[in-house]
Structure 1
């Protein structure tokens, strides 16, 4: 399993107790969708390694108390602290017709209501403060915030994103 076939759901933040439990911070909209996990993948040395779970108990604040099979001590789980946690894309919860996952937008054409076709989405930037579409426009990368008011509509069938870009946004990127 490689990272391109997976999506990140969070990371291991710290060891919990003496018996090999860890605290996981989830970066998902609906943590309850992940309550019944039986396994997950942990990134170690740029590789994803499968781990089977004894329990995965939701806690307040998008946190989870997790226990992995066969890891029964602080020494066994300490090297996992800070590691990112992944699941296969095939396990993504199904969405309504008008909803989408950001990774699905890669390759979609982006249209601005005044400029017309901007370009195709090359990359999604998942930053702590804001998520951005990376689009090549006139040979330069333009970063478009993914937020209501800017993204007007996403047509998944036609693979198009319709935007109302803030005045001057494109010009900032075209300046030398």
Structure 2
């Protein structure tokens, strides 16, 4: 599975019961991303490209704030415990195209951000949910800027040119 053509959709956080069920922190908005029959790659975050093991999803259920996942070949607690901490990746071609005016986070990471007032303010290094809006973490050489992913602040996103254009109020702009 090519890292550029795949997305990290979750991380194994623990085990549940004796039959190999995995507790998963999902990065996906919908449990449908973990449909039975899909193939996923489990690997360590620091593993070299291509290292990891492929599994087929047998079952996925919503559980507390995450998902209980059953994978083919993981049928006991010992095997499941070996997977704790592993990232779960899926080939992009197994995911639906995002709806209009929505993007996969991974596609936004690394994009240059330009503000109408300030010009270049940095690159997106992280994104996190806040409940109301996702928050873009933008970093230049020395400063971090947080920008809500909202139409009042994010004017346009051009994935081909790898550019986001913003119109930020002065209180959100970094001091230069």
Aligned in 2, Cα 1:78/1:120: closer, same or farther, shift over 3 Å?
A: same
Q: How does 1:58-69 map to 2 (within 5 A)?
A: 58-61=61-64, 63-69=66-72
Kept after mapping to 1: 8 A contact 2:17/2:77: yes
Kept after mapping to 2: 8 A contact 1:23/1:65: yes
What CA distance in whole angstroms lies between the structure 2 residues aligned with 1:101 and 1:72?
32
Root-mean-square deviation (CA), in Å?
3.0
Kept after mapping to 1: 8 A contact 2:10/2:28: yes
C-alpha deviation, 1:167, in angstroms:
0.9
What CA distance in whole angstroms lies between the structure 2 residues aligned with 1:68 and 1:161?
38
Q: How does 1:17-166 map to 2 (within 5 A)?
A: 17-44=17-44, 46-47=46-47, 48-53=51-56, 55-61=58-64, 63-106=66-109, 108-115=111-118, 117-118=119-120, 121=123, 123-127=124-128, 129=130, 131-136=135-140, 139-148=141-150, 149-156=152-159, 159-166=162-169
Kept after mapping to 2: 8 A contact 1:20/1:67: yes
- TM-score, normalized by length of structure 1? 0.74
Kept after mapping to 2: 8 A contact 1:35/1:58: no
Aligned in 2, Cα 1:12/1:120: closer, same or farther, shift over 3 Å?
A: same
C-alpha deviation, 1:128, in angstroms:
6.1
Who wins on radius of gyration, i.e. which is larger? 1
Flag structure 1 segments of 5+ consecutive residues without an equivalent.
none
C-alpha deviation, 1:158, in angstroms:
5.2
Aligned in 2, Cα 1:33/1:3: closer, same or farther, shift over 3 Å?
A: closer
What CA distance in whole angstroms lies between the structure 2 residues aligned with 1:55 and 1:86?
16
Kept after mapping to 2: 8 A contact 1:14/1:23: yes
Q: Deviations over 1:115-163 (max 9, x none)?
A: 3x31563x43134656324343xx5444242421321332445543221
Aligned in 2, Cα 1:108/1:80: closer, same or farther, shift over 3 Å?
A: closer
